Each structure stands twice: as structure tokens, then as C-alpha cells.
């Protein structure tokens, strides 16, 4: 597991800016090239050159330029075609992969709180989570109390950006309903399949836990999608076999885009 970093702050409240960078991005671009074209575009007038560079290198690049830019390709192609909630869930998936601290916070604190019927999550809850991780040596270095406090706010702020918690600047945030959208379920299943995972391992991948789903939930979801997702699922004695109709990422994106 990658060590937790404190760079999540670079992405908070930056959804519109992320979309604009995706519009400017072309396959093969490096982070430095994205920064140069963004700076030259004049489309980020409220951001200093330094802040723009930090946004590109600490937010956009880890999230969107990983895996040879595949996340950027997916998000760029789907953004004009899908609803905002669907796009946000895809962006959340990639952001959580890029920032394990966010993913683990959602899996280990948000969903248990949701399942327990809690109505809110506080910055203090997040601070305790970060403090425990810091003491356990999961961070890139030993963080000061001030850094722990700041990172805790980043976590709740990021969850608000992606629709898991209510927005705004506050010490307590209401937990919002957050259900995996069908197009995102289709994409994630095929994304894991194209990544080389076997059918049974796909059902237990930690990415599903970002949406509060366990193996049984995932199997039910994929069975319901069935032909719509190009899936034929056979299950017996705990083993699952899936026939995948779509052979390429482009086919899957075309189906999702409608």
C-alpha cells in the first residue's frame, strides 16, 4: 500500500478546473505539458502560476495521468455524455485510487458510520482517523498535529465534493445517500476485467467498497445489469463465471455514453 500523503488539498473544490484541464489534455501529454498549455490558455485567471502547477502535479496528474493517461481518456470522453453524478463517481474512483488516504477513509469510516445509521461525520472523526494512521506509520513522514488537523479537513471536504457528505465549511457534515450509478458499475467491472483480474477476484476488489458494496452486493448488481452491461453471469457453489461481451475499453465507453 502506498503511504498516505497530504496532497489531497490540491483537488478540493476543483471539479470545474479538472474538467477544463481534461478539455485541454491530449493523449501523450505529460504533467509539465498540461501545465504549460493550461497556463498559456488563460482559462485559470484566479489561480497563480504556482497554485496552477500544484493543482496539475498534485491533483490532476496522480488522478488522471496514471496508467499512461487512461483515466484522463475515460473522463474526457464521458464527461460531455453522462450526468454530473456519474462523472463525479468516476472522478471519485480515480481520486481514491490516487489518494489511498481518501479511499481508506471512505471504506473504514464513512461506510461504517452510514451503515450504523449515523447522521453526520465530524472533522473530529476525521482527525482521529488521520491521527491513528499517523501513529501507525502509514504517512509519508510523521505529521505534526497541525498537519493532522488540516488533512482531516481535506478528507471531509473531498467527501463533500463527491457527494458523500453535505457541502460547505463546517465542523459537522450530514451523511448523504451515495449509491453506485449503473454506468459506473458497468465501467468498474470491465475496468477490473481489462486489468487482468479473474471473475471471482473482481467481485471482491476494494474499489467496490468505495461505494459500500461487498461481494454479494456486487454479484447482485452485475446480475441485474446483465445484458445491458454485456454480461452473462453463472454462479454455483460460491464460484462465479462471467462472459464478457465487450472486448475493448472503447466499446464499453460507447455503451456508457449511449
Domains identified in the chain, total number: 3
Residue 49 has a CB neighbour count (10 Å cut-off) of 11
pLDDT digits (tens, 9 = 90+) for 25-45: 999 999 999 999 999 999 999
Q: Do 21 and 77 belong to one domain?
A: yes
Q: How far is it, in rounded angstroms, from Cα 10 to Cα 55?
A: 5
- Identify whether 87 is part of a domain: no
Q: Over 90: is that where the pLDDT of 232 sits?
A: yes
Looking at residue 113, its pLDDT comes to: 98
Confidence at 169, pLDDT banded by 50, 70, 90? confident
Structural domain contains residue 95: no
Last residue of a domain, one of 121, 146, 174: 174
Band of residue 170 on the pLDDT scale cut at 50, 70, 90: confident
Mark which of 174, 206, 236 sits at the end of a domain.
174
Q: What average pLDDT does the segment 183-204 reach?
A: 98
Which pLDDT score, from 0 to 100, does residue 38 have? 99
Which is nearest to 97 in space by CA: 16, 28, 195? 195
| pLDDT(246) > 90 | yes
**Angle between helix 66-78 and helix 84-98 axes, rounded to 10 deg:** 170
Q: Over range 194-221, report the average pLDDT.
A: 98
Residue 140 belongs to some domain of the structure: yes
In a domain, 92, yes or no: no
Identify whether 165 is part of a domain. Answer: yes
Is the pLDDT at 15 greater than 90? The verdict is yes
Three-state secondary-structure class, residue 235: strand
Same domain, 28 and 59: yes
Same domain, 204 and 232: yes
Is position 94 within any domain?
A: no
What's the pLDDT at 111?
Answer: 99
| 202 and 220, same domain (yes or no) | yes
Q: Given pLDDT bands bounded at 50, 70 and 90, which one contains residue 2?
A: confident
Q: What is the pLDDT of residue 56?
A: 98
Q: What is the distance, to the nearest Å, from the Cα of residue 153 to the centroid of all Cα atoms in its chain?
A: 18
pTM for this predicted structure:
0.96
- Residue 168: its pLDDT value, please? 82
Using the predicted structure, report yes or no on whether residue 75 has a pLDDT greater than 90: yes
Do residues 162 and 88 lie in contact, with contact meaning Cβ atoms separated by under 8 Å? yes
25 contacts: CB under 8 Å, gap ≥ 6: 34, 64, 69, 72, 76
Cβ–Cβ contacts within 10 Å for residue 224, how many? 11
Q: Is 88 inside any structural domain?
A: no
Longest dimension (CA), the chain: 59
Are residues 71 and 113 located together in one domain of the fold? no
Enumerate residues 6+ apart whose C-beta is below 8 A from 214.
208
Q: What CA–CA distances, in Å, run from 164 to 105, 144, 177, 205?
A: 12, 27, 7, 20
Residue-number span of the structural domain to which 199 is assigned: 182-257
Q: How far apart are CA 207 and CA 118, in angstroms?
A: 23
Statement to judge: residues 245 and 199 lie in one domain: yes
Does 1 fall in a domain? Answer: no
Does residue 66 share a domain with residue 33? yes
Cα–Cα distance measured from residue 137 to residue 149, given in angstroms and rounded to the nearest whole number: 17
Q: Final residue of a domain: which of 81, 112, 128?
A: 81
Query: Computed from CA positions of residues 68, 210, 166, 9, in that sequence, does the dihedral angle turn out positive or negative?
Result: negative
- Domain shared by 161 and 189, yes or no: no
**Same domain, yes or no: 169 and 119:** yes
| Tens of pLDDT, residues 97-144 | 999 999 999 999 999 999 999 999 999 999 999 999 999 999 999 999
Amino acid at each position: 500500500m502506498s503511504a498516505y500523503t497530504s496532497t489531497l488539498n490540491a483537488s478540493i473544490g476543483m471539479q470545474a478546473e479538472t474538467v477544463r484541464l481534461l478539455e485541454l489534455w491530449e493523449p501523450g501529454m505529460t504533467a509539465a505539458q498540461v501545465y504549460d498549455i493550461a497556463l498559456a490558455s488563460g482559462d485559470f485567471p484566479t489561480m497563480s502560476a504556482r497554485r496552477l502547477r500544484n493543482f496539475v502535479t498534485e491533483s490532476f496528474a496522480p488522478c488522471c495521468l496514471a496508467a499512461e493517461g487512461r483515466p484522463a481518456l475515460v473522463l474526457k470522453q464521458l464527461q460531455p455524455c453522462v450526468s454530473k453524478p456519474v462523472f463525479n463517481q468516476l472522478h471519485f474512483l480515480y481520486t481514491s485510487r490516487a489518494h489511498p488516504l481518501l479511499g481508506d477513509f471512505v471504506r473504514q469510516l464513512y461506510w461504517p458510520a452510514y451503515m450504523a445509521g449515523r447522521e453526520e461525520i465530524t472533522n473530529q472523526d476525521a482527525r482521529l482517523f488521520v491521527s491513528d494512521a499517523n501513529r501507525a506509520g502509514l504517512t509519508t513522514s510523521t505529521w505534526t498535529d497541525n498537519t493532522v488537523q488540516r488533512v482531516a479537513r481535506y478528507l471531509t471536504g473531498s467527501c463533500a465534493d463527491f457527494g458523500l457528505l453535505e457541502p460547505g465549511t463546517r465542523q459537522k457534515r450530514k451523511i448523504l445517500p451515495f449509491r453506485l450509478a449503473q454506468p459506473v458499475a458497468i465501467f468498474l467491472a470491465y475496468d477490473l476485467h481489462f486489468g487482468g483480474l479473474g471473475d471471482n477476484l473482481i467481485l471482491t476488489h476494494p474499489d467496490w467498497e468505495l461505494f459500500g458494496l461487498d461481494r454479494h452486493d456486487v454479484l447482485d448488481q452485475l446480475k441485474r445489469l446483465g445484458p445491458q452491461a454485456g454480461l452473462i453471469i453463472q454462479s454455483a457453489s460460491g464460484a462465479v463465471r462471467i462472459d464478457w461481451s465487450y472486448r475493448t475499453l472503447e466499446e464499453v465507453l460507447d455503451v456508457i455514453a449511449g
